[in-house]
Structures are given as structure tokens and as C-alpha cells.
A and B are shown apart, each in its own frame.
Chain A
Amino acid sequence: MSETVEMTKEVARGETILRVHNLKKSYGKLEVLRDIDLDIKKGEVICVLGPSGSGKSTMLRCLNLLELPTGGTIDLKGETVFDGGKPKNLDDLRRETGMVFQSFNLFPNMTAKGNVSIAQIRVRGRKKDAADERSIEQLTKVGLAEKVDEYPDRLSGGQQQRVAIARALAMDPEIMLFDEVTSALDPELVKGVLDVMRELADSGMTMICVTHEIGFAREVADRVIFMDGGYIVEQGPPAEVLGNPKEERTQKFLGLVLDH
């Protein structure tokens, strides 16, 4: 039964799954997001670049309403989840969007498996055995089959981040949001995490990645978005935005990032 319900809600690959219109966010007088319009298609991989303070993390956090936007609308699968007032289907939206943080945010009092299972049990209503089975499967996929019973403090940063990815994936999200997930990692640990993300992109997951990894963006992204000052300055295929940027601000930023 539940399968048919999900089928009717299914969005075909290539169709718009998330539509953001006129999104604004300010803290008091400080405008962080001025006017963001964004259409995201199912299966699309988007990398968001930009200098710090440009609003990219805030935009990502607004997309699953961890930050409440001050204006604009967000539609998920054709349903309005935010239209300026109180969010309507807050927990629905969050269930459909997985988020991975720069600082991992694993639950320190649970094993890797426990971390991945807890929301499956409490939010998805899965039985503990089924959830644990799913967790082990998911942890195996990110290369941590040996570590299912370890606590976070026994794992490296890269391993912790892969647990965090598994934790979000186990909820079967429609969209994955990555907020500078490699920025807190030692250089030698970055690749393992990016490999997992690359595989995920290949599997058809819709992804929005705020990142400083230009190489990753060039190779994996379908679309690159450059943000500055709370606006989307430029967007397009990576070859265009990264190889031949039209806007001066993009050129300047890429010059600074690539020249070292």
C-alpha cells in the first residue's frame, strides 16, 4: 500500500523536484540572502561556490528550514512547504532532505550503527532490527563495515563524516544537502569522503553541495552556482562557470582560489 502512495508522489528524473522563489533571509538589518531563485531537477548535482559570507551555507540551511527564511517560497515535489509565514510541513520537508554538516555532528553517545538507526526508528517508524540491518548496509556502502560498533570518538574525521552521510541516506531522502563537508578534514581524509559523494552522484541522487573543492565541482557537478553578497551571481555547467566565467566577481574569486 505504502508503495503506491510513494509512487504517486514520485518525481521523474529530470523534472523539477525543488523550486525556490524569491528566497530572502536577514538577521536584523543584515541581509544574508537577498533574492534567490532556484529550480532543482531530480538527479541533478549542484555545487555552490562563493567567498565566505556570501550566503551559501545560509541558503542550504534555509532549504531544509534549519534557518527560517524571512521571505520567499519553497516548493518540494509541487507542494508548498514554505511561503513566508510559519512552515507548514516542516518535518515532512526535513524527512525528504538529508543534510551533512561541516562539523559532522554525530551523536557521541551512540555507536556508528546507533547514529544511523536512531532516526529510522523514531522518525520512519522502522523496527530496530530492520533499522540496524539498513544501517549496516548503508555503513558498508560508505566503506565502514568494520566500524559499525565503534563510537564516534574512535573514528577519524573522514570516517565520522562518512557515518554522517550514511545516517542521512538511511532516511531515504529525495535530496541531499552537503554543507562544506570536507572543510574540517585533514587533507588525506578528503578523498574518501569525496569518493562517497561521487558514487552517490553517479547513483542518481539529487545533491546540492556547498563546497570549496573546485576539482570536485568540475568533475561531478551538472551545474555550478557562484554566490556573492547574498545573490546568485552566475550559474551554469561547470565548464562554463569554472572555465569561462562571464562575471567579474566569479573571475576574481576563481583567480584567488585556483592560484595557489
Chain B
Amino acid sequence: MGDFFDIFFNFQFMADHFDVVFKGFLVTLKLSVVGGAFALTWGLILAVLRQLPGKVLAPVRWIVIAYIDCLRGLPLLLVIMLLANGLATMASQGVIPREIGIPQWLGENDPFWYGVMALTLTYGAYMAEVYRAGIEAVPRGQTEAARSLGMSHGQAMRFIIVPQAVRKVIPPLLNDFIALMKDTALVSTIGLVEAVQAGRDLYSEFYNPSGWTLGAFMFLIVTIPLARFVDRLIKKQNEKFQRGLP
């Protein structure tokens, strides 16, 4: 039993190397928040583009649908590899400027920005589907009322439909955000030192996995309250629904 705790829950080891894991976890948090914000925005843009009316804009809808289908069907790890190495190769061969191919914006290194891009592309596609469900759940009468008042399609979406849709889908969006936060670990494969990579570095040096256990605690401190919060939101929405309100 003592061995078990020495290996997995070596608190002395955790205390000694807390700063390393915590520094990694801050990177995880930063990547989650920045990537999450971009994915939320990009997903909404995709969802709105997908709802554009009329025959003329049909190609836009097809492109968006194809994009969403592809990105939902690809492993995030593949997207990360392809994007990071593809951009870096293009930059080194002078196809695109170095500042774009190997981004170092705002003092963050290039793996961080590749991670932001890959997470945005992939999770944007997931979230677009969530937004779409919300938009389609707004009763048709809302659009009709807005249009009958002289609003254009765009105005009806912006002022009437999307605000109602977003409210409906906050819980599933937060679920996607939790998933996104866990998937930031994949960015370690292109050299980002976040919580999981910090654990690996410690393991390589000291042959003790407790660094990962510490990282796990840090994840759970954020994700469990988030999951509880989502549950409470859903419960509140259901209560409203049971009272017969929209």
C-alpha cells in the first residue's frame, strides 16, 4: 500500500514539483480560454452562414456543410499535426510570411498558436452544430413576426433568433468547452508544455508519475464545478419548460 501511494500519490514529490505542473496547467488554461473563445465565435459564424437564405447563397451553405462534416470527421491530433507542420513547412520555404507560418504573437510561442488554430477549426465545427440546433429550436413564428415588422433576414437573425438560440444552447456549449479543455493535452505532441507534458517531463527525469496525478487534480478542480454548473443550468431550463414557458 505504501508503494502505491509512493508511486501515484507522492505528496512530497507533488509539493517539490508543484511549480512545474502548475506552470503547465496555466498554459492549459490559457489555451482553453483563448481557443474556446475563438471556437465559440467561429462556430456561431458557421451556423449563421449555414442558415443564409435563397438560391444564390446555396454554394456558401454547401461549403459550410462540407467544412463542418470534414472537421467533425477528422481526429483533432491529425489536424494539429497537419496544421503545425504544414504552416511551418510553408513558412520555411517562403510560401507564406514567417510571421504567419510560425506565429509568435503576443509573446506566446508557435505551438500555442497552432493549438489555438486547430482547436478553433475542429471545435468550431462541433459548436456550429450546437448553435444550429438552437437556431432551429426557435419557433418559426419568431422569424415571421420579425420579418413581418420589416426586418431583413440578417436583422431577424441578429436581434431576434440568435439571442434566443444562444440562450438555449449554453449548456451543450459548455459541455463542448469541457471537452476542448481536455483536448488541449494533444497540443503537447507539437511541443507545447502544458499540464500533461509537464507531468511527462517530471516522469522522464524522476521516474515518478505523481506529477500527472497532480495535473489530474488541477483538471478536476476546474472541470467538475463546470459540469455541476451545466447540470444546474439544464435543471433550471427544464423547470422553466415545465411551467409551460418557452
What residues of chain A have their CB less than 8 Å away from a CB belonging to chain B?
Answer: 64, 66, 91, 94-95, 97-99, 101, 103, 105-109, 118-119, 122-124, 153, 164, 167-168, 171
Q: Is B149 in contact with A167, judged by CB distance below 8 angstroms?
A: yes
Q: Is B19 an interface residue (CB 8 A)?
A: no
Chain B residues within an 8 Å CB radius of A164 = 145
Complex Cα distance, B152 from A94, in Å, reads: 10
Q: Is B150 in contact with A101, judged by CB distance below 8 angstroms?
A: no
Q: Is A123 in contact with B144, judged by CB distance below 8 angstroms?
A: no
Interface residues of B in 151-177 (CB under 8 A from A): 151-152, 155, 159-160, 163-164, 167
Return the 5 tightest CB-CB contacts between A and B, nearest first.
A119-B149, A105-B145, A95-B150, A105-B141, A99-B148
Chain A residues within an 8 Å CB radius of B142 = 105, 107
Chain B residues within an 8 Å CB radius of A118 = 149, 159-160
Chain A residues within an 8 Å CB radius of B149 = 94, 98, 118-119, 123, 167-168, 171
Complex Cα distance, B150 from A94, in Å, reads: 5
Chain A residues within an 8 Å CB radius of B159 = 118, 122
Chain B residues within an 8 Å CB radius of A124 = 150
Q: Is B245 an interface residue (CB 8 A)?
A: yes
Chain A residues within an 8 Å CB radius of B246 = 108, 153
CB distance from A209 to the nearest CB of B (A): 15
Q: Is A91 in contact with B150, judged by CB distance below 8 angstroms?
A: yes
Contacts A94-B148, A94-B150, A168-B148 known; 18 new A-B pairs at CB < 8 A: A66-B144, A91-B152, A95-B150, A98-B148, A99-B145, A99-B148, A101-B141, A103-B141, A105-B145, A108-B245, A109-B164, A118-B159, A119-B150, A119-B151, A122-B151, A123-B150, A168-B149, A171-B149
Chain B residues within an 8 Å CB radius of A122 = 151, 155, 159
Chain A residues within an 8 Å CB radius of B146 = 107, 119
Q: Is B182 an interface residue (CB 8 A)?
A: no
Complex Cα distance, B167 from A99, in Å, reads: 27
Q: Is B23 an interface residue (CB 8 A)?
A: no
Chain A residues within an 8 Å CB radius of B167 = 109
Complex Cα distance, B145 from A123, in Å, reads: 13
Q: Is B144 in contact with A101, judged by CB distance below 8 angstroms?
A: yes
- The interface size bin for chain B is 20 to 34
Complex Cα distance, B148 from A101, in Å, reads: 10
Complex Cα distance, B148 from A168, in Å, reads: 9
Chain B residues within an 8 Å CB radius of A168 = 148-149
Chain B residues within an 8 Å CB radius of A109 = 163-164, 167
CB distance from B76 to the nearest CB of A (A): 34
Chain A residues within an 8 Å CB radius of B163 = 109
Q: Is B147 an interface residue (CB 8 A)?
A: yes
Complex Cα distance, B245 from A164, in Å, reads: 18
Contacts known (A118-B159, A122-B159, A153-B246); A105 close to B151, Cβ less than 8 A:
no
For A101, A107, A124, A171, the residue with the greatest tally of chain B CB atoms inside 10 Å of its CB is A107
Chain A, Cβ-Cβ closest to B54: A86
Supply 30 A–B pairs (Cβ within 8 Å), ascending by A.
Answer: A64-B148, A91-B150, A91-B152, A94-B148, A95-B150, A98-B148, A99-B145, A105-B139, A105-B142, A105-B144, A106-B145, A107-B145, A107-B146, A107-B164, A108-B164, A108-B246, A109-B163, A109-B164, A118-B159, A118-B160, A119-B146, A119-B151, A122-B151, A122-B155, A123-B151, A123-B155, A153-B245, A164-B145, A167-B149, A168-B149
Interface residues of B in 74-98 (CB under 8 A from A): none
Interface residues of B in 113-153 (CB under 8 A from A): 139, 141-142, 144-152
CB distance from A216 to the nearest CB of B (A): 22
Chain A residues within an 8 Å CB radius of B139 = 105
